[in-house]
Amino acid sequence: MNSTGSSSPQGTGRFRAAGFVLGFAAVGLTLAYSAFAQQTGGAPTPPPTSRPTTQPGKFAPPGTPLTETKPLPAFWKSSLDDIDQCLTQAHKGKVELLCRSAGGRKLYVVSYGPPRNLDSQANYNSACGGGNPAWYVHKPAGTPPTVLLLGPVHGQEVEGIAGLMNLLHLVETGADLRGKSYPKLMESFLRCRVLIVPSGNPDGRSRVPLNGFIGESIDTNSYYGMGTNAAGKLWQWPQVKGHQPLTDVGYLGGYFNDAGVNLMHDDWFGRMTSETQAILDLAKREAIDYGVSLHSHGANPQFMQTDYMDPGCQEKAIVISERLSQRFAAVNERVNPIRREAPAAPAPANNNRPRRHRPEAPAAFNLCSALHHVSGGTIVLYENSCGVTGYHQTTYDQILDLQMVLFEELLGYAADNPVVWER
C-alpha cells in the first residue's frame, strides 16, 4: 500500500497545492530578506549553528564581574556603542562599511586625506618577483604616505579602541576626549592618508561586558579573552592557539569571532573569514605604506617585530621602535625597542655535513605578516598594558598618553619617510 497518495490523482493534486503554497511562502521570505538586507547594508552571516550559546558567567572563575563594576573616566570609550556614536560625528573623515563579521556585525574604516591614484598593474607578490614593487603601485616622489591604524582583533583588548576613539575625536574637533590638543601629531596626520579601523573584531568585542581591565584579575582577563572549554576550564596562552577554529567551547572569549577564529592566525592561503579578508583587501587596494595593529597584555607596553617582512621594512620598524622607546622614557615608562638580528652564522666548512634544524619553532606568519605581503607596507604590532592586578600597573590616562605618543611617532616617521616606487 502506498501511504503517500502520490500515485493517485487526488494525491498528486494535494502535493501540487502544497507546492504552490510553499513556493509562495518561499518567495515572500526571499523578498522580506532582500528588503532587510537593503536596509542593513548587506545580509548578515549567521553564526555557525554548532556554536554553543552560553552566556558570560556560566563558567566564570569566582569573583569574575559580569557587568562593569569599576568607575571609568569619561574619556574612556571602548564599546561598540561608543564606536557607533563616534562615527556618527565623523564629518571630516569618510566612514565606510568594510564587511559584515561572522556574526553579522559591522566592520568599519574611517579614511582621512584624498585617495591616491594607484596605477597598479600587478599584485605586490608578482611585482616583487620581478624585482620592481612599482609594478604593483606607482608611487612617485611627493606621494603622501598611507597609514593604517588597525583596532584590536582580540575583543577583550579594549585599550586600542579607547585610543582610536580619542584620536578620532582629536581629528574631528581639535582635542581628544580629555580636551588635550596635539599640534605635532595633527601636523603629521594632515600630511598622510590615514585609515582607522576602530575594532578589528566586533564579534569578540560584543562578547565582553567590561570596558576596561585595570584592577581586574588575570583570570577575569583570560576568561573574557580566551574563554573556557566545554568543561569550564580556562583556555590559556599558548595552548589556545593549538585549536583553530576553536570548537571545544564552554564560553567563547573575545579572542575569536563568532566562527571561533582567532583573526591573527586566519587561514591565509585557504578560505579566510570575512573580517580578515576585508582588512587585507583594504591594505591591498590602498597600498598602505605603514601600519600598526593594536593589542594589549598584562606586561609593560611592548613594540613587537613582524616576521616575514623584507629587510628594508624591518629596519624602518626598528627605527620607529627606538624613537618610541626614547619618548616613553621621557614619561617614566619603558618599551623595549625591536632588536636587530645578529648576523647569520657562517656555513660549515664541510658542505657534506647535514645542517641541524633550528630547535625553536618557526616564527608565525600572522595578520601583520599578511598585511605586509599584500601591500609592501611596514607593519608593526603594539601591545598596550591592560593594568590587571599582579602585573604591570598603569592608569587609563597613562594608557591613552602612550598611545597618543605612538600615533605621533608613527605618523611623524611616515610623513618624513614616504615610500617612493617609480617605474
Kindly report the number of other CB atoms within 10 A of residue 35's CB atom: 10
The pLDDT of residue 41: 42
With a pLDDT cut of 70, the percent of the chain lying above it is: 82
Kindly report the number of other CB atoms within 10 A of residue 416's CB atom: 10
For 297-355, give the secondary structure using H, E and C.
ECCCCEEECCCCCCHHHHHHHHHHHHHHHHHHHCCCCCCCCCCCCCCCCCCCCCCCCCC
What lies within 8 Å, CB to CB, of 401 at 6+ separation is: 331
Q: In what order do the strands lie in the sheet with 106-112?
A: 94-100, 106-112, 193-197, 146-150, 290-297, 378-385, 302-304
The DSSP bridge partners found for residue 390 are: none
Q: Give me the residue spans of the domains in the chain.
A: 77-339+363-416
- How do strand 193-197 and strand 302-304 relate by DSSP bridges? unpaired
What are the phi and psi torsion angles at 268 (to 5°)? -60, -30
Mean pLDDT of 393-417: 97
The pLDDT of residue 348: 56
Cell of 360: 625553536
Please determine, looking at this structure, whether the domain spanning 77-339+363-416 carries the CATH number 3.40.50.2000.
no
pLDDT higher for 291 or 18?
291
What are the phi and psi torsion angles at 297 (to 5°)? -155, 180
pLDDT higher for 142 or 1?
142
Mean pLDDT of 23-37: 40
End-to-end alpha carbon distance in the chain: 80
Q: Which helix H or strand E contains 164, and what residues bound it? A: helix 159-173
Q: Is the pLDDT of residue 26 over 50?
A: no
Residues 344 and 229: their CA atoms lie apart, in Å, by 42
Choose among 224, 90, 108: nearest CA to 161. Answer: 108
Q: Is the pLDDT of residue 356 over 70?
A: no
Instruction: Report pTM.
Output: 0.85
**pLDDT tens digits, one per residue of 175-222:** 999 999 999 999 999 999 999 999 999 999 999 999 999 999 999 999
The answer to whether 267 and 275 are in contact (CB under 8 A) is: no
Residues 160 and 151: their CA atoms lie apart, in Å, by 6
Kindly report the number of other CB atoms within 10 A of residue 194's CB atom: 25
Residues 128 and 140: their CA atoms lie apart, in Å, by 17
Cell of 337: 625597542
**pLDDT tens digits, one per residue of 85-131:** 999 999 999 999 999 999 999 999 999 999 988 889 999 999 999 99
Choose among 201, 216, 9: nearest CA to 100. Answer: 201
Residues 1 and 223: their CA atoms lie apart, in Å, by 60
- Give residue for cell 568599519: 108
The DSSP bridge partners found for residue 327 are: none
At residue 375, the 3 state secondary structure works out as: helix
Mean pLDDT of 226-245: 92
The pLDDT of residue 89: 92
The pLDDT of residue 342: 60
Residues 10 and 355: their CA atoms lie apart, in Å, by 81
Choose among 210, 218, 203: nearest CA to 252. Answer: 203
Q: Is the pLDDT of residue 30 over 50?
A: no
The answer to whether 385 and 300 are in contact (CB under 8 A) is: yes
Mean pLDDT of 218-239: 94
Q: Is the pLDDT of residue 49 over 80?
A: no
pLDDT confidence tier of residue 360, bands split at 50, 70 and 90: low
The pLDDT of residue 359: 54
**pLDDT tens digits, one per residue of 68-77:** 888 999 999 9
Mean pLDDT of 225-240: 92
Burial of 402 (0-12, 13-18, 19+ CB in 10 A): buried
What lies within 8 Å, CB to CB, of 336 at 6+ separation is: 302, 303, 325
Choose among 192, 220, 199: nearest CA to 408. Answer: 192
At residue 205, the 3 state secondary structure works out as: helix
With a pLDDT cut of 90, the percent of the chain lying above it is: 74
The pLDDT of residue 352: 54
Cell of 406: 605612538
Calculate the average pLDDT of the chain. Answer: 86
